Structure 1
Amino acid sequence: MDGVSSYFQRLSETVFEPTEHVGGAWNPGEQHIAPVLGLLAHLVETEHRERRAESPLILTRVGYDILGVIPMDAFEITAPRVLRPGRTIELVEATLRHGGRAAVTLRAWMLQPGDTSAIAGSPLPRMPERESLPRWRPDDVWPGGAIRSIDARREAVAAGRSRAWIRPRHPLLEGETISPRARMLGMIDFANGIATRVPPERALYPNVDLTATVFREPAGEWFGLDTSVSFGADGTGLTESVLSDEAGPLGTSSQTLTVRSR
């Protein structure tokens, strides 16, 4: 699949194949979860637009549970189903399966849009200007095609604390319109590897979930991650990020870590 420019190729309505740009950081023979999360969000939004073309809702909160690793192999995403229907609020679920085994589930809250511009604002911290941060090569720290697929500018504030601007070099799928939200959701899992508390040679700290809330539409190619990584003394940890674009903060994300010393 050399030269393929997207993260995934669609083989059918429900089956997808990863390209070289999805290779994982912990194991290049497994898929990095970041692009997978963006693909799930894209399919939920696509189904929703088709089903509710006259009264679409906005994907606002996503909760992903990572049930197992995904080989660099074709997989299936079942058609999203509505768990909580409603005129102004819906809860939608989608599941990724490989070899008949559920590997990732997504539950997404869809909310009714409205004009609240008169009271809009956020006290969340703003990111430094992108050009003020040095260029950073994440593949100097991590292996895998997914890490090589992003551009990054990063400021390391302290162990487990960083601010970074990142952008994907490739679309999730060729020939399909990807919303800014889905595109950003396909990037934020990189936070756990951008704000490294210890080098990956010293410990394993994959995340078992990711929850994000987005309170406005992202804009532009670059996304900001103001990230803190915490380890407890009992083998668990937490990665938290403020999500931004160049206009300012637009949401937060949280990842639960299982931490294992090497």
Structure 2
Amino acid sequence: MHKNRPMSDLPEAFYLPLGDGCYEPTRATESPWSPDAQHGGPPTALLAHELDATAAPGMRLARISVDFLGPIPRRRLRIEVSTLRPGRQIALAEATMIVDDRPAVIARAWHIATGPTPPAAGAPFDPPPPLPEAQEDWHDPDLDGWGYGQAIEWRHTHGLGETSGHAEVWTRVRIPLIAGEKPTGLARALIVADSANGISLALPMRQWLSIPPTMTATLGRLPEGEWVHMAARTRLSDDGLGVAHATMSDLTGYLGEVTQPLLVRER
């Protein structure tokens, strides 16, 4: 394993803003499968950022469902947002990432109005494991150097290097989502959310594909601080499909859930 890449070697952000809803993806968005494609995490967070910008004051993103229409080219892109269901308490909006004049990713997000603290906290939640000391980076030796993997700090608490279908890891996004803007809690959660299936591999990556065409994240609250923990599990069926699921938390407690259906095929 290689040591953590110095911050000076990383791009300044995942995306460079070009104005009018256009962005240039940097090497930090690079997929493990191709240097010309983006990992699903940064596009998810960027679409959520644009959707959040259109939400009414006092509304918070509660759920986002993202559909990947194919490999996401790592080229200049633009984002278009439309409101599907306006409302003061609950609203639904859609954002489309367009590359080369073709839709590449579509996201729908529900925003819900915030209000007074409820008198009960709901079901109890087991706190995540303590944050470990700094570790060597998690990566596949065949994928050394891929941009997204190096733009995240990974500190495993369970299952490092296993293919048991269960792994847990603390994550810290090392650079902003957008150049010139401070990282938000929403961005920190969603940049890593689409990694649930990669974290909890049930089969060796070199021999098997595990592809999520869509991802849904439901957030009870937004993370506080830099660290987000993912407790991920992958379960496979007997007909070439699977489901990856992750429970997300931060140092103070529960955040939400991630679910991905999987296409599972031998290479």
1:73 partner SS: coil
TM-score, length basis structure 1? 0.91
The reply on whether 1:105 has 2:106 as its aligned counterpart is yes
Preserved contact between residue 90 and residue 110 of structure 2 (Cα < 8 Å): yes
Select which of 25, 36, 54 maps to 2:32.
Answer: 25
Deviation at 1:11, TM superposition (A): 1.4
Rounded to whole Å, the distance in 2 between the matches of 1:123 and 1:136 is: 33
Preserved contact between residue 138 and residue 194 of structure 1 (Cα < 8 Å): no
Deviation at 1:178, TM superposition (A): 4.1
Rounded to whole Å, the distance in 1 between the matches of 2:263 and 2:136 is: 26
Where structure 2 has 5 or more consecutive residues not aligned to the other structure, the ranges are 1-8
Name the amino acid aligned to 2:151: S
The reply on whether 1:200 has 2:202 as its aligned counterpart is no
Name the amino acid aligned to 2:148: A
Residue number in structure 2 paired with 1:191: 196
Deviation at 1:121, TM superposition (A): 4.1
Name the amino acid aligned to 1:57: M
Preserved contact between residue 176 and residue 182 of structure 2 (Cα < 8 Å): no
Name the amino acid aligned to 2:129: P
Deviation at 1:127, TM superposition (A): 1.3
Residue number in structure 2 paired with 1:14: 21
Q: CA RMSD in A?
A: 1.8
The reply on whether 1:59 has 2:61 as its aligned counterpart is yes
Rounded to whole Å, the distance in 1 between the matches of 2:166 and 2:203 is: 11
The residue correspondences of 1:1-262 to structure 2 (distance < 5 A) are 4-48=11-55, 52=56, 55-78=57-80, 80-131=81-132, 135-141=135-141, 142-143=143-144, 144-154=146-156, 155-156=158-159, 159-262=164-267
Deviation at 1:122, TM superposition (A): 3.9
Name the amino acid aligned to 1:197: A
Rounded to whole Å, the distance in 2 between the matches of 1:135 and 1:118 is: 40
Q: Kindly tell me: are residues 136 and 240 of structure 1, through their superposed partners in 2, closer, same or farther at Cα, counting changes over 3 Å?
A: farther
Deviation at 1:177, TM superposition (A): 4.3
Deviation at 1:136, TM superposition (A): 4.6
Deviation at 1:176, TM superposition (A): 2.3
More off after superposition, 184-193 vs 151-160: 151-160
Rounded to whole Å, the distance in 1 between the matches of 2:136 and 2:116 is: 39
Name the amino acid aligned to 1:137: D
Preserved contact between residue 35 and residue 172 of structure 1 (Cα < 8 Å): yes
More off after superposition, 11-20 vs 240-249: 11-20
1:138 partner SS: coil
TM-score, length basis structure 2? 0.89
2:186 partner SS: helix
- % identical aligned pairs: 34
2:75 partner SS: coil
Rounded to whole Å, the distance in 1 between the matches of 2:74 and 2:87 is: 37
Rounded to whole Å, the distance in 2 between the matches of 1:217 and 1:16 is: 25
Deviation at 1:198, TM superposition (A): 1.6
Rounded to whole Å, the distance in 2 between the matches of 1:222 and 1:110 is: 23
Q: Kindly tell me: are residues 212 and 19 of structure 1, through their superposed partners in 2, closer, same or farther at Cα, counting changes over 3 Å?
A: same
